[in-house]
Amino acid sequence: MHSEQQPENTDVIVRRGTDCEKWDGMAQVFGRDDLLPMWVADMDLPAPPQVVDALKNRAEHQVYGYTFRPDSYYQAFIDWNRQRHHWQISPECLSDAPGVIPAMALCIHTYTAPGDQILIQTPVYRPFFDVVTDNKRKLVTSPLVEDQGYYQMDYDDIAQKFAQGVRMMILCNPHNPVGRVWTADELKRLGELCLAYDVKIITDEIWADLVYPPHRYQPMAAINRDLANQTIALLAPSKTFNIAGLHNSIAVIHNKDWKKQYDQALKRAHLDFANIFSVVAFTAAYRFGGEWLDQLLGHLKSNCHQVTAALDGYGGIRIRPPEGTYLLWLDFRSLGLGQDLIIKALVEHGKLGLSDGRSFGREGDGYMRMNVGCPRSMVTEGIARIKESIAYLTEKAE
Ligand SMILES: Cc1ncc(COP(=O)(O)O)c(C=O)c1O
């Protein structure tokens, strides 16, 4: 990345008027369109210049006919994972997917039947709930255990629920919204339970690349051969390179029978197509985006730090810096005011749009999720708006 393209120096790019969910869609969610939106998980930052150039080149060709994903597309993903994560993936394990959540839905259809139990760990990204219930499977939740803002898995609870007949679990690694980057030991312990109870693991690793050292992303499928065979990993360049609107993702399936079933289902649903722009962006991002990502991570980490330094302890708010993601999980519980009042103050007084913690499950009551994937000036503004909201609430309470 050239110095003038560093996120720190990036002027705010006006996104209003581009039909983007975060800005143009805010009225639908918040009932007004004059908020600073720090909710939807994409970034108010430009994609890597190499991706932008590749897209421009492709657009200039002027012919946009049918395409397929060439070998170089898969190779870019394989090389990226070998170099950055020491994860060796062979091309035979790769399958296509039009998005991580659509692929999850396809897995649910392929490997389970209506009424089957599927476990998720809450609080978690809302579509994990919906993809299970929309497809008429039975949702089983295992709440993460929180201690001073640090979340861990509840293995006893998971084992107990697995013993009651769970067929599949959907893992979020790293975890949105609590910002944990699960360690190899944690994943191994969970994986052993999955093997013992023959629970299929669908692991959503869309946040894999947005991890702050010394924390390290551990692919579930790279722990050992047994777990590779028990796992379907879903990944995408969407979050890492801010190209979520191109809607493209990839599945890693080591188990040959499961891969065959998945590929057949993809074909049956006629979802085995490729979009030329997403293929071009995916390849350029994984091939050339490493240096850009390293700089982005520095920027995001300092955004997280800025918010934590300014707001942890402020008016009773608690925040712990995330190990990965650009999402902060703000704990307002000690204010004892109730979620509706906090949201009202943030929206009506602070003019700030954060994600309601309750959308991540009942354990999210009292929390708000703040997206700091944006230029520094927006983070500063977001902090000021939270402080104003708190001041307003405190005044009201007196
Ligand atoms: C954990 C997680 N999975 C999946 C997605 C969305 O993936 P896709 O747009 O490919 O369906 C998100 C977006 O925020 C996410 O946080």
For 179-186, what is the mean pLDDT?
98
Q: pLDDT tens, 201-243?
A: 999 999 999 999 999 999 999 999 999 999 999 999 999 999 9
Q: What mean pLDDT is predicted for residues 181-191?
A: 98
At 62, which amino acid appears?
Q
Which run of H or E residues covers position 172?
Answer: strand 166-172
When the pLDDT of each residue in the chain is averaged and rounded to a whole number, the result is 95
For residue 247, the CA-to-ligand 1 centroid distance in Å is 10
What's the confidence (pLDDT) of residue 3?
A: 37
Element (H, E) at 139: strand 138-141
Ligand 1 centre to CA of 312 (Å) is 27
Q: Whole-angstrom Cα distance, residue 338 to residue 150? A: 22
Residue 398 Cα to ligand 1 middle (Å): 42
Ligand 1: nearest atom to the Cα of 175: 1
348 vs 6 pLDDT, higher one: 348
What the block records as the tokens of 107 is 């897995």
- pLDDT for the residue numbered 10: 58
For residue 207, report the distance from its CA to the centre of ligand 1, in Å.
8
pLDDT in tens, 95-129: 999 999 999 999 999 999 999 999 999 999 999 99
Q: Average of pLDDT values for 248-272?
A: 96
Which residues line ligand 1 at a C-beta cut-off of 6 Å?
41, 99-101, 125, 172, 176, 204, 206, 236, 238, 244, 249
Question: Which ligand 1 atom is at minimum distance from the Cα of 249?
Answer: 10
Cis before 37? omega within 30: no
Q: Which domains does the chain have, with CATH numbers?
A: 3-49+290-392 (3.90.1150.10), 66-288 (3.40.640.10)
Looking from the CA of 87 toward its CB, the CA atoms found within 13 Å total: 24
Alpha-carbon distance 349 to 189, whole Å? Answer: 46
Rounded CA gap, 22 and 36, in Å? 10
Best CA proximity match to 291, nearest among 88, 84, 89:
84
Rounded Cα–Cα distance for residues 324 and 305 (Å): 12
Question: Ligand 1 test: best mutation among 20, 43, 100, 128, most atoms within 8 Å of CB?
Answer: 100
Q: Coil, helix or strand for 62?
A: coil
Tell me which residue of 302, 336, 328 sits closest to 386, measured CA to CA: 328
The answer on pLDDT for 2 being more than 50 is no
**Ligand 1 atom closest to Cα of residue 41:** 14
Closest CA to 250 of 93, 87, 71: 93
331 CA to middle of ligand 1, Å? Answer: 23
Is residue 132 helix, strand or coil? helix
Instruction: Report the separation in Å between the CA atom of 349 and the middle of ligand 1, taken as the mean of its atom positions.
Output: 30
Q: What is the mean pLDDT of residues 57-75?
A: 97
User: Which atom of ligand 1 lies closest to the CA of 42?
Assistant: 14
pTM score: 0.96
Å from CA of 334 to ligand 1 middle: 30
Indicate the top mutation candidate among 211, 238, 328 to test ligand 1's pocket, ranked by most ligand atoms within 8 A of CB: 238
Quote the CA–CA distance of 390 and 349 in Å, as a whole number: 9
pLDDT for residue 65 is more than 50:
yes
- For residue 153, the CA-to-ligand 1 centroid distance in Å is 21
Q: Name the residue of 106, 132, 206 whose CB sits within 8 Å of the most ligand 1 atoms, as the mutation to test its pocket.
A: 206
Q: Which residues pair with 356 in a beta bridge?
A: 368
